[in-house]
Every structure is written in C-alpha cells, then in structure tokens.
C-alpha cells in the first residue's frame, strides 16, 4: 500500500536564493523533505533533504563538500553545450542546462560558493547513462564518456558510480551525508521514459535551430561498478 504523503513543510525561506522556486514534498518513510529534479535542473542544499530523479540515458552527478556537509545533484541529457550561444533563462532552466558542461559548471560553482572548500575536497558520484533508446545513437555512452573526461580534466576524484546498462534508474541522494540510493527499473514503465527522453531530445534539437527555451519533462545501489 502506498504511503500517504502529508503536505510539504515548504521551508523555502531556509533555502539558498537560487532554489526558493523548487517544489518539494514530505516523505514519511525516509522522514525527510524531498526535492525532485527533472532534466535540465539542479539542486543544492545545506539542509537534511533528499534529492530524487529518474534517469534513462541522462546522467546525474552528485557532488558533496565533505567538510561542510552540503551538496547537490544535477540531471543532464547531452554532453556538450552548444558554442556561440549565451545562457538564458532563470535558475538554469534554459536549454543550456540540459548539457553536461553547463550543468557541471553550475553545480560545482554553487557548492564551492556556499561551502568554501577546495575542489579536491569534493566527493563525486555519478549515475545513469543507460542505453534505453533502440535505433538511436547511444546517448548514454556519450554522457558517461563526457563526465569521466570532465572529472579527469578538472582533477576531481570519482568516489562511486552506477552507470551504463540497458534499464532506467530511479535514484535518491542525501547531500548532508553523501548517501546515494539507486533502483534499476527493469521493465517498469520503460516505454514512458523512452518517450519522455525522445521528446525532450527533439525539443533540444528544435531549440538549437530556432532559439528560445525548451519545456522540461518530467530508490538504489552504492559504490563503483
């Protein structure tokens, strides 16, 4: 029987200014406030919260300041940001936020800004990059290759990962502790996730040629695989 969720406490005034717009709900099982992010979004916090998302070929990177016990997570669809285009849209919700280079820059800079730590003190975990869209380029593999190259270039150490494979993932991250939970969704609404990612990718391609913003669409193992 599904748990009945009570209304969120919505303590938005305690959030950092970049994230006061984010919606949340209360999870009585984990006894924690939950923020769900979608493709093209990121969230970081200094509070005891859980960040959750569902990943197909997309990647989520979890980053934590181990000294200050703050951290966050992003969710991006494609590896590289387009050249010759300025970032647009409030809160990183433009099409550029769907690209790994932009998503990483925003999240890393946010945590360094509020945590005050050095980059080498950041704890990094990566998830997603599954091959779920048959007949298309393996976007998941491209995403995995991008994030690994990015971490090497930036001198950031990978603490844990669960990437690749042929099924979507539902995941949750607790920035205060660095705990990550991942559940592989084998044959559970896979078609829905494929349709969402296919539509989102089409929107990104249209946006690249027409300009403007895109509409964003909208549980768990630990350790390196």
Active site residues: 58
Dihedrals phi, psi of 130, to nearest 5 degrees: -75, 155
Total Cβ atoms within 10 A of residue 67: 12
With H, G, I as helix, E, B as strand and everything else as coil, classify residue 66: coil
CA separation for the pair 25, 43 (Å, rounded): 15
Q: What is the DSSP string of 122-175?
A: EEEEEEE-----TTS--HHHHHHHHHHHHHHHHTPPEEEEEE-SSS-EEEEEET
Q: Which residue has the tokens 């969704």?
A: 185
CB-based burial of residue 59 (10 Å sphere; 0-12 exposed, 13-18 middle, 19+ buried)? buried
């Amino acid at each position: 029987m599904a748990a009945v969720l009570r209304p969120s406490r919505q303590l938005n005034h305690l959030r950092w200014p970049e994230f006061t717009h984010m919606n949340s709900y209360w999870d009585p099982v984990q006894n924690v406030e939950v923020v769900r992010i979608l493709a093209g979004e990121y969230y970081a916090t200094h509070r005891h919260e859980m960040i959750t998302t569902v990943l197909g070929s997309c990647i989520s990177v979890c980053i934590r300041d181990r000294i200050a016990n703050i951290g966050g997570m992003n969710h991006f669809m494609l590896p590289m940001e387009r050249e010759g285009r300025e970032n647009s849209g409030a809160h990183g919700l433009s099409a550029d936020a769907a690209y790994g280079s932009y998503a990483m820059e925003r999240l890393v800079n946010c945590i360094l800004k509020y945590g005050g730590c050095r980059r080498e003190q950041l704890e990094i975990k990566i998830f997603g990059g599954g091959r779920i869209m048959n007949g298309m380029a393996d976007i998941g593999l491209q995403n995995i290759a991008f994030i690994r190259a990015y971490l090497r270039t930036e001198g950031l150490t990978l603490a844990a990962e669960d990437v690749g494979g042929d099924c979507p993932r539902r995941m949750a991250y607790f920035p205060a502790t660095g705990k990550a939970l991942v559940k592989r969704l084998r044959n559970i609404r896979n078609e829905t996730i494929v349709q969402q990612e296919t539509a989102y990718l089409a929107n990104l391609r249209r946006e690249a040629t027409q300009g403007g913003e895109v509409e964003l669409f909208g549980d768990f193992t630990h350790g390196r695989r």
